[in-house]
Amino acid sequence: MTYLQKLRETTPLIHNLTNEVVMNFTANGLYAIGAAPVMSKSIDEVSDMASISSGVLLNIGTISSTDVEAMLLAGKAANKKGIPVVLDPVGAGATPFRLETCHRLLDELNITAIRGNASEIAALIGENQWQSRGVDSAGDGDVVKLAQKAATSLTCLIALTGETDVIANQNETVVCLNGTPLLGSITGTGCLLSSILTAFLSLEGPNVQKVVEAISVYTIASEIAVEHPHVEGPGTLHPYFLDALYTITPEEVRKRQKVETR
């Protein structure tokens, strides 16, 4: 049985502490793939909510000081329960506050995986040749080496996504080559992927394989959607991408998947 099938059978509940821009898209995307979302950033309940969940997603896209406290509480409850905690360091290099927040979360919590673009991953390990522009990645370079360096430096599974997606821990590196550039024209597609990774990571099995399958499912769904005759731009891609996440089969993933071990 694939991880996608296991996910759809178990519908893991994912507690998202995420930014206001992508909350709706994230919730709809988690439902579409077969998981269940819950959203809460209130310090009055984040520990309780994390404790009834199967995974916790921390996304700093519109982070405030209060949100940082909520993330620490939810992350600690998740660590105590032994469920995965995924960090999405949105725009980590854009402001000092975002970078400090990421380091604080990495210091005080046991983070299972980090999903970010090249600029964000580079910012986390002080690689200044990578540039960010707001929350988007800019610059070009060897993303495989960057992901490997970050995995070693942060002792954490890294999912560096972009034109090429790189999954690296301290021992293994896998590259995924599916996807469509148009997906980047929809806001929150990286954020939703981070939430979906959290759902896959909540299943039994080795983390690298689960993340590779999750990224393949996600990017192949975007390929299927963009090929739909009704898709004419980013606006129409949005509903058809959600449909593709809902309807994609393990067979379609197997046929289209482009994965290389590095």
Known binding residues for substrate are: 39, 188
Measured from the CB atom, the residue of 19 and 169 that comes closer to its own copies is: 19
Of 62 and 164, CB closest to its own copies: 62
Print burial letters for 160-189: b (CB count within 10 Å at least 16), e (below 16).
Answer: bbbeebbbbbeebbbbbebbbebbbebbbb
Nearer to its own copies, 186 or 259 (CB): 186
Q: How far is the CB of 172 from its own copies (least distance, A)?
A: 33
Candidates 5, 8, 9, 42: give the one binding its own copies (CB under 8 A).
Answer: 42
Candidates 26-34, 201-209, 211-219, 253-261; binding stretch for its own copies (CB under 8 A) = 26-34
Q: What is the CA radius of gyration of the chain?
A: 17
Annotated binding site: which residue ranges? 39, 115, 161, 188
Segment 173 to 192, residues that bind its own copies, using CB under 8 A: 185-188
Contacts of 244 (CB under 8 A, 6+ apart): 221, 222, 224, 225, 228
Exactly one of 106, 110, 153, 234 binds its own copies (CB under 8 A); that residue is 234
Shortest spacing between CB 145 and its own copies, in angstroms: 27
- Helix 207-226 / helix 234-247 crossing angle, nearest 10 deg: 130
Kindly state whether residue 238 participates in binding its own copies, applying the rule CB under 8 A: yes
Residue numbers belonging to the annotated binding site for ATP: 115, 161
Residue from 3, 4, 7, 25 in contact with its own copies (CB under 8 A)? 25
List strand residue ranges (DSSP E) for the chain, in order. 13-17, 36-39, 55-59, 85-88, 113-116, 131-133, 136-138, 157-160, 165-168, 173-176, 259-261
217 lies in the binding site for its own copies (CB under 8 A):
no
Q: Does 128 bind its own copies (CB under 8 A)?
A: no
CA atoms of 224 and 251, how far apart (whole Å): 13
Contact 93, 121 (CB under 8 A): no
- Give every CB contact of residue 117 below 8 A, 6+ residues apart in sequence: 136, 137, 160, 161, 162, 190
Sign for the CA dihedral angle at 17, 21, 24, 30 comes to negative
Number of residues that bind its own copies (CB under 8 A): 62
* 125 contacts its own copies (rule: CB under 8 A): no
Give 82 or 229: the residue with its C-beta nearer to its own copies: 229
Asked if 229 touches its own copies (CB under 8 A), the answer is: no
Is residue 246 at the binding interface for its own copies, with CB under 8 A as the rule? yes
44 DSSP assignment: T
HEC profile for 48-76? HHHHCCCEEEEECCCCCHHHHHHHHHHHH
Q: SS3 of 175, please?
A: strand
Q: Which residue in 3, 4, 7, 37 binds its own copies (CB under 8 A)?
A: 37
Which 146-175 residues touch its own copies, going by CB under 8 A?
A: none
Q: Which residues bind its own copies (CB under 8 A)?
A: 13, 15, 19-25, 27-28, 31-32, 36-45, 48-49, 52-53, 61-65, 91, 94-98, 133-136, 185-188, 230, 232-236, 238-247
